[in-house]
Structure 1
Amino acid sequence: MNDQSTAPLQLSDLISQHSARLTQADTRLLDVLIQDPIRAAMDNGKDVSTRAGVHPASAVRLARRLGFKGYPEFRSFLQSSLTEGENGDFESSAARMAARLVRAEEGSLLASVLDSEIAALNNIRNAVSDSDIRAFSERLRDGRRIFVFGRGHSAALSALIGLRLTRSGYHAINIAAQMEQLPELLCSLSEGDVLWLLSFRRAAPLVQEVRRIAAERGAVTLALTDLHAARMDPAPDHHIAVSRGEPGQSQSLVVPMTIANAIILDLAAIDDGRSIRALSKLRAFRATSRLMPGG
């Protein structure tokens, strides 16, 4: 049973505690705040009062009735509710962006994003081991073909991984870029192939189905996900799940990209020069061909 005394205080709790003191103007203000909690966390007291059609000082009076020293402190409470709450707001891209904005002090947005990225990257040190990286690279090295699949934001990383593996001399297929041929490609999956799945925020039904087909056909599945998309059934053969940032932070794409880069670099270290030879061959071919853009 949850300890109510240690649970985070919500706006609804404050309204219940102080309902006897609330005025008609307070009710109009609260209606505005509750209807759009994202904007409520962004606006100052004057803006909220204007939208509610009450005196500019009404927002300050409401904040004090709810136990705050002034509206800035009340606004900080609303921001914390947005960035730290567990009410599903972060399924909304607008809420995620608003949460990042409210964490950034005025004039230091870039610094806030950098701090968020650095914190998420530092977390990898404790969350991912060299043995995790090696488990992926060994499977890639030994695979007959490598199918890479990601949807949404992870599709960009899927394309990059497919390109880098191809340049390293591996038969890599970015199936995320060939969705119209998805049945044909997955039908050819068999034992000896490797499926590298990427999934962020949630494991979409399509990702789950691709995983199921790979298991049914005996292909090895590697999964690189964030913590929100970590649950897959059946479980992947090897799985790296890592946080891309706390709620209200930037939900870094740098984190999974860094892990993917480490895996591909480790692959080059264990494939008896295959990656190095392929890259050298590609460089020589580029130098002698007329395929370069603008040539």
Structure 2
Amino acid sequence: MNFPERVNEYRDRLTRSDRVLLDEILAHPAEAPFWRGGDVAQRAGVHAAAATRLAQRLGYQGYLELRDDLRRDREDRLNGAGDRFREELRGQDRVLEALLATELDSLAAVLRHVDQAQVDEVADLLAGARTVYLFARGNAGVLADLLDGRLRRFGMRAVNLSGPGREVAERLLAMSESDVVVSFAFRRAPRNLTDLYAHAASVGARTVLVTDTLHTLDPGPTTVLSAPRGHQEGFSSLSVPMMIANAIVLTVAQRHPDAVLPALDRLDGLLADFD
């Protein structure tokens, strides 16, 4: 396993200090592979021995082995958006064909990371929720919009937490333990995501994160659906998380037809009146 895969595999055993260290490492992908264990611990504000303990919890013999893994990952990864596109386009005369091959590979790999039991769990959470709150920023916003529309067609109450932080805060006033938050975030956590998780935890609401390599949030979500979106060093599309979102929607309908199908019938009648 490489470093991101180890973080995903052992995420549940990580301590708060481990997560602080990982945040520091992941926030500096170009520099971290050259830091000593003491360096990263000092930057994260934790005891020097914490870096070794983190490495061992991730299955390494020690921090040097973890750092070697980071260096190998760095050699295969480009950091800037411009560099990623340059690499993706270099030598590509048939962009459509190459993109299709990458997307198919990524979609085929989803079942190695997310299984139906996890999707069932999330679908049941949504079906039993009083309100489903949706959160995404940037390009991921289309995924929240997609889920918002699909859930409303099922007769479910969905609140899309778009807009600036003040508007998000106002919409969260009514959140309770009967609610669920579904969030989409990739590479780095968007602003207010951990604030949202902290508030949800304070009122007892469950939280779900659909992501690729984002595993070290503090506070974190109660459920994570994580699958790579393509080659880390290249262009990463939304096909994989969109498929996961669609799988959740279809699973809600498949597992809760008594609630979903009558709502769709009522929608047909309303559409006939309003079209």
Scaled by the length of structure 2, the TM-score of the pair is 0.69
Aligned to 2:83: 95
**Aligned residue among 132, 141, 154 for 2:140:** 154
Alignment RMSD (CA, Å): 1.9
Tell me the CA shift for residue 266 of structure 1: 0.5
Q: In the superposition, relative to structure 1, how do residues 268 and 89 fare at CA in structure 2: closer, same or farther (>3 Å)?
A: same
Structure 2 counterpart SS, 1:183: helix
User: Percent same amino acid at aligned positions?
Assistant: 29
For 1:255-294, list aligned pairs within 5 A: 255-289=240-274, 292=275
The C-alpha deviation readout for 1:241-284, integer Å capped at 9, x for no partner, is: 11111124331201000011011101011224222221221122
Scaled by the length of structure 1, the TM-score of the pair is 0.64
Q: Does 1:230 find its partner at 2:215?
A: yes
d(CA) in 1 for partners of 2:92 and 2:250?
A: 39
Aligned to 1:119: 105
Contact 1:244 1:255 in 2 (8 A): yes
**Aligned residue among 173, 194, 202 for 1:187:** 173
| Aligned structure 1 segments of 4 or more residues deviating by more than 4 angstroms | 177-180
Tell me the CA shift for residue 205 of structure 1: 3.6
Give the number of the structure with larger relative contact order, counting CA–CA contacts within 8 Å between residues 6 or more apart: 2
d(CA) in 1 for partners of 2:163 and 2:147?
A: 12
d(CA) in 2 for partners of 1:122 and 1:211?
A: 31
Q: Does 1:253 find its partner at 2:241?
A: no
The C-alpha deviation readout for 1:101-156, integer Å capped at 9, x for no partner, is: 12xx3421111111111111011021111101011001101111000001111111
d(CA) in 1 for partners of 2:117 and 2:247?
A: 12
Contact 2:148 2:160 in 1 (8 A): yes
Contact 2:155 2:263 in 1 (8 A): yes
Larger Rg: 1
Contact 1:153 1:200 in 2 (8 A): no
Q: After the TM superposition, which of the residue ranges 213-222 and 243-252 deviates more from structure 2?
A: 243-252
Stretches of structure 1 lacking an aligned partner (at least 5 in a row): 1-83
Structure 2 counterpart SS, 1:211: helix
For 1:12-161, list aligned pairs within 5 A: 85-86=74-75, 89-90=78-79, 92-102=80-90, 105-161=91-147
Q: How many residues align?
A: 203
Letter in 1 for 2:237: S
d(CA) in 2 for partners of 1:177 and 1:168?
A: 24
d(CA) in 1 for partners of 2:154 and 2:186?
A: 26
